[in-house]
């Protein structure tokens, strides 16, 4: 039913009603402002980007001046990692789970020789679908200089116990970062309740924003000791100071910026952040649908690769198929049903534009195709 698409891709690119119209209006305004025949472009567009930063800060209760935009989570983590004092990591371990977002692991692995740390990757146990909190704790000793936690995994929708892990990490004296990407926007998160040392994320997925609109946030008292090696004119307190001998980092999160920022991506994401801030029942709607997906998958004797308990699950349900099911995603797309696969894992993520009838259509189709 192409006129009633069943959309289950909130783990990738989220949608909300009227998204296209809202984004088009925002980008049209940007185009007009940036093309004006005057000298007001920078003040105008930087004010527009500040709304992006303010909306994000309110979303996670970040103190003023501790959050700024980044092109993506990998760039955000690089700015943190490359700016830490050498003694924070040299001769120590960096801890991460094997079901992290691969891009972050690629970067951490590549930087280990130069920064002098050992990357320790906690494996997924044989027969399991996610790294358990218990295994993370077992690997986390006082030699861990930095741990990067994944709020919700992209391959199993496992939601880690951040309170437990952060409390343990602080006892070990470790720096703790959290990748919020797959959970923020559907699950509540507040720095007031979950005191990570820094967080990174994107405005894609459940927040329904655009690519290129990531964020980095850091604990206020930690910011002064971090001096990112990827720096540029926007890393300064006054970006328009071009004195080559007077560079100094901005006193706040702006030091994590570098060259010209991705203003267009931030402006394009503001309508989605505004829309999200006005919603009140996104989680209950999602859980109603994910519970139905789990029930239908169990009835069909499918292998569920996601925690069954609401409190341990993100907004997605993953189903492991017997094989890679070539052509399955295409066949579903031809019926107006949109999912994706990673290897043998079928990823199903219902959100604001997904309804129960779409769940029924998906499983009716799967019963025929598998």
With a CB cutoff of 8 Å and minimum separation 6, the contacts of 94 are: 108, 112, 117, 118, 119, 120, 144, 145, 146, 147, 148
Specify the pLDDT at position 172: 98
pLDDT at 1 over 80: no
Mean pLDDT of the chain: 96
Question: Torsions phi, psi of 193, nearest 5?
Answer: -100, -25
Q: Which CATH architecture is the domain 24-277 placed in?
A: 3-Layer(aba) Sandwich (3.40)
Asked if 6-17+280-369 and 24-277 have one fold, the answer is: no
- Whether the CB-CB separation of 251 and 187 falls below 8 Å is answered with no
pLDDT at 210 over 90: yes
pTM here is 0.96
Show me where the domains of the chain are located. Answer: 6-17+280-369, 24-277
* From 25-29, 235-239, 320-324, the region with the lowest mean pLDDT: 320-324
As a whole number of angstroms, the distance between CA 84 and CA 105 comes to: 18
- Whether the CB-CB separation of 146 and 95 falls below 8 Å is answered with yes
Span 17-33, average pLDDT = 97
Specify the pLDDT at position 2: 65
248-305 pLDDT per residue, tens: 999 999 999 999 999 999 999 999 999 999 999 999 999 999 999 999 999 999 999 9
- How big is the chain by its Cα radius of gyration, in Å? 21
297-333 pLDDT per residue, tens: 999 999 999 999 999 999 999 999 987 677 999 999 9
6-17+280-369 folds as 3.90.1150
147-191 pLDDT per residue, tens: 999 999 999 999 999 999 999 999 999 999 999 999 999 999 999
As a whole number of angstroms, the distance between CA 149 and CA 200 comes to: 10
């Amino acid at each position: 039913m192409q006129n009633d698409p069943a959309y289950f891709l909130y783990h990738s690119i989220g949608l909300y009603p009227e998204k296209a119209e809202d984004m088009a209006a925002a980008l049209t305004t940007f185009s007009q402002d940036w093309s004006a025949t005057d000298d007001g472009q920078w003040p105008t567009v930087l004010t527009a980007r500040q709304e992006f930063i303010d909306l994000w800060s309110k979303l996670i209760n970040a103190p003023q001046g501790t959050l700024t935009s980044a092109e993506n989570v990998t760039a955000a983590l690089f700015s943190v990692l490359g700016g830490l004092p050498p003694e924070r990591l040299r001769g120590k371990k960096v801890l991460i789970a094997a079901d992290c977002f691969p891009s972050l692991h690629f970067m951490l692995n590549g930087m280990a020789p130069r920064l002098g740390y050992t990357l320790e990757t906690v494996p997924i146990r044989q027969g399991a679908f996610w790294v358990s909190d218990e295994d993370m704790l077992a690997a986390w000793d006082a030699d861990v200089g930095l741990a990067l936690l994944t709020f919700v995994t992209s391959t199993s929708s496992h939601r880690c116990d951040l309170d437990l892990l952060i409390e343990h990490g602080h006892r070990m004296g470790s720096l703790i970062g959290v990748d919020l990407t797959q959970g923020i926007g559907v699950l509540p998160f507040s720095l007031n309740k979950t005191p990570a040392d820094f967080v990174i994320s994107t405005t894609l997925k459940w927040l329904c924003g655009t690519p290129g609109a990531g964020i980095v946030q850091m604990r206020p008292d930690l910011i002064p000791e971090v001096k990112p090696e990827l720096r540029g004119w926007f890393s300064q307190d006054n970006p328009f100071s071009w004195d080559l001998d007077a560079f100094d980092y901005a006193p706040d999160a702006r030091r994590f910026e570098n060259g010209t920022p991705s203003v267009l991506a931030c402006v394009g994401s503001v309508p989605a952040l505004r829309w999200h801030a006005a919603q009140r029942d996104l989680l209950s709607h999602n859980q109603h649908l994910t519970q139905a997906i789990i029930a239908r998958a169990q009835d069909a004797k499918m292998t569920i690769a996601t925690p069954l308990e609401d409190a341990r699950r993100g907004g997605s349900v993953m189903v492991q198929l017997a094989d890679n099911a070539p052509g399955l995603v295409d066949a579903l797309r031809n019926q107006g049903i949109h999912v994706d696969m990673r290897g043998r894992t079928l990823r199903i993520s219902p959100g604001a534009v997904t309804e129960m009838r779409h769940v029924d259509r998906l499983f009716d189709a799967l019963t025929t195709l598998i």
